Structure 1
Amino acid sequence: MSRKVIITCAVTGGIHTPSMSPHLPITPSEIAEAAIGAREAGAAIVHLHARNPETGQPDQSPEAYEQFLGVIKQRSDVVINITTGGAPTMLVEERLAPAAVFKPEVASLNMGSMNFGIYPILDKLKKFKHDWEEPYIEGSRDRVFRNTFADIEGILATCADNNTRFEIECYDIGHLYTLHHFVQRGLVTPPFFVQSVFGILGGIGAHPEDVLHMRRTADRLFGDDYRWSVLGAGKHQMPIATQSMLLGGHLRVGLEDSLHAGRGRLAKSNAEQVTIAREMIEHMGFEVATPDEAREILNLKGGDKVDF
């Protein structure tokens, strides 16, 4: 039986700014259309952030999410994943609010505090559409993305009664050990959906040996109790996705993680990246998982048990 590979698409995120690409979804309708387009191209899961439609700033208010969650659900069977990461400038209470209100099938959960440096972008980006963009990018030079043990425990406790499962984002080896700590305490139950993140300045690198190190460590800590996925930042997106497939894993693409669809060429849509990933999967002899197959693989509660 052919192996099923889950494609997650992170359609806008909270890191890239409007001046970096004219194709970055900003408004509620753009985010909804991006999510639906990603599903049509082959994504089983969409990882969602919201933005201020006028300025493009990250907006983690439930009211911002309300404008597109219902539209996506009505027009698609895709699994909806709501971030609790938001943006590194936000307090955890603000970041958690949409997942607490809407009780999605999946929410993201970062496994540790870290430096999250995007300021090298300023070496190339010199013109900005909005006043907030340059200080937001420059501020990452002296900013810690906070995800303490107490923060993580609070998110787990808030979502426990909602049967929301987690895309557990691990940016370094220590984050796997933090997950193991919460597993031992019984606060996270299998199957764990571990999203290993490569190539962020402040986290693990994007060398093939880094990917292997993450995979081997997760295997040793969790055995058969986890499902592994990867995302590579920027130019590392597709090479790391390919390595994950060869190692038996799943993958994440989308304009949150990379703005490109080839060397020096901006992706015109999230669907374009999903299409590239789908074609790679199929060329390797694997099959792309449908949303319902992803629900079964990850033991999700189903789209009829969310509050939107």
Structure 2
Amino acid sequence: MSENKVILTVACTGAWPQKSDTPWIPLTPREQADDIVRCWEAGASIAHIHVRDDNHQASMNVDPFAETVRRVRDRCDIVINLTTSGGLGLDDEIRMKPFQQLRPEMASFDAGTMNWAHSTVFENSPRFLEKLATSMRACQVKPEFEIFDAGMIYNVLYYMKKGLIQGPPHFQYVLGAPGGMTAKVRNLMFLLETCKHHLGDNFTWSALGIGRGHLPIMFAALALDGHVRVGMEDNIFYRKGELAQSNTWFVNRVKRAAAEMDKAVATPEETRAMLGLTRQSPVSA
């Protein structure tokens, strides 16, 4: 039964951690693909992918995305989820080009603008969100709606009412980002109840806690029959003072915790069925 299946997303790299923060962060396409394959072998369902430039800074250049995706697809069937936010202040077209060309099953849809890390603005303007929704629908790429605070849920509901988003939405509750809602279980409950109030059971959801909020949100999501995201994008520590030496450490912990609740991690094919995903081939540039 689907309520006993947990979709496990692994976010191996993200936009910010460096080798100076942890030597085990995978940064190059080869490193990241190898790490993703190991996570798939350990049981991960989805790979959420960011890439870096030659200086290991956040990038939306389509070439490292293409290399990473090719290396992953050549070796395993994990569901591919590409970011649209690998950097700040980028043109709309640059942010959309990777999913438009590579046609992953999913891509991130950050559902509103926010103050990021108390230092800058993470802009997701109404203009961009409408273009993003339209392009994802045309490319048959399922949006993963990244929710950093409750107002972003209402943005998604607006675009659903406008007809730009069809089908049951999939929410990723992102808790603990400076400038967004803190990684408290009560905040997760509030976001979940807000979605249920407006959508009933006609949506799916996953959750993550950044940094020290990692474990409380992971366990709460499992207890609430939700899905889970883990990985060094969100948290480089396995426990206080101990760096995780591989993203597989996080994957295996979720598997153990899920098993204690009589749950199992969904395979990629089960994940595609649960989320209504479409497998496609890349298009020519």
Unaligned stretches of 5+ in structure 1? 118-139
* 8 Å contact kept, 1:9–1:47: yes
1:189 aligns with 2:166: yes
Query: C-alpha distance in 2, partners of 1:29/1:68?
Result: 7
- Cα RMSD after superposing both structures: 1.3
Letter in 2 for 1:147: N
Question: Which residue of structure 2 lines up, in the alignment, with residue 268 of structure 1?
Answer: 245
* 8 Å contact kept, 1:191–1:299: no
Q: What's the CA shift string for 1:181-208, capped at 9, x where partnerless?
A: 0111111122211000101110011122
* 8 Å contact kept, 1:106–1:167: yes
Query: C-alpha distance in 2, partners of 1:181/1:215?
Result: 17
Question: Which residue of structure 1 lines up, in the alignment, with residue 219 of structure 2?
Answer: 242
Tell me the SS of whatever aligns to 2:68.
helix
**Inter-CA distance 306–238: structure 2 relative to 1 (3 Å threshold):** farther
Deviation at 1:7? 0.2
Query: C-alpha distance in 2, partners of 1:203/1:306?
Result: 35
Query: C-alpha distance in 2, partners of 1:226/1:92?
Result: 27
* 8 Å contact kept, 1:103–1:159: no
* 8 Å contact kept, 1:197–1:231: yes
* 8 Å contact kept, 2:209–2:234: yes
Tell me the SS of whatever aligns to 1:252.
strand
Query: C-alpha distance in 2, partners of 1:22/1:229?
Result: 28
Tell me the SS of whatever aligns to 1:26.
coil
Residues 132-281 of structure 1 mapped to structure 2, 5 A cutoff: 141=119, 143-281=120-258
Q: TM-score, normalised by structure 2?
A: 0.95
Tell me the SS of whatever aligns to 1:230.
strand
Query: C-alpha distance in 1, partners of 2:95/2:18?
Result: 18
Letter in 1 for 2:254: A
Identify the structure with the greater strand proportion: 2
Question: Which residue of structure 2 lines up, in the alignment, with residue 307 of structure 1?
Answer: 282
Q: What's the CA shift string for 1:192-245, capped at 9, x where partnerless?
A: 110001011100111221111011001112212210100110111121011011
Query: C-alpha distance in 2, partners of 1:185/1:213?
Result: 25
Tell me the SS of whatever aligns to 1:166.
strand
Question: Which residue of structure 2 lines up, in the alignment, with residue 114 of structure 1?
Answer: 114
Query: C-alpha distance in 2, partners of 1:75/1:101?
Result: 20
* 8 Å contact kept, 2:116–2:179: yes
Q: What's the CA shift string for 1:79-132, capped at 9, x where partnerless?
A: 011111112343332222111111111001100000110xxxxxxxxxxxxxxx
Tell me the SS of whatever aligns to 1:274.
helix
Letter in 1 for 2:282: D
Question: Which residue of structure 1 lines up, in the alignment, with residue 92 of structure 2?
Answer: 92
Letter in 2 for 1:78: I
Q: Give runs of ≥4 in structure 1 deviating > 4 Å.
A: none
Query: C-alpha distance in 2, partners of 1:161/1:112?
Result: 21
Query: C-alpha distance in 1, partners of 2:82/2:235?
Result: 19
Unaligned stretches of 5+ in structure 2? none
* 8 Å contact kept, 1:35–1:46: yes
Question: Which residue of structure 1 lines up, in the alignment, with residue 275 of structure 2?
Answer: 298
**Inter-CA distance 32–187: structure 2 relative to 1 (3 Å threshold):** same
Identity of aligned residues (%): 33
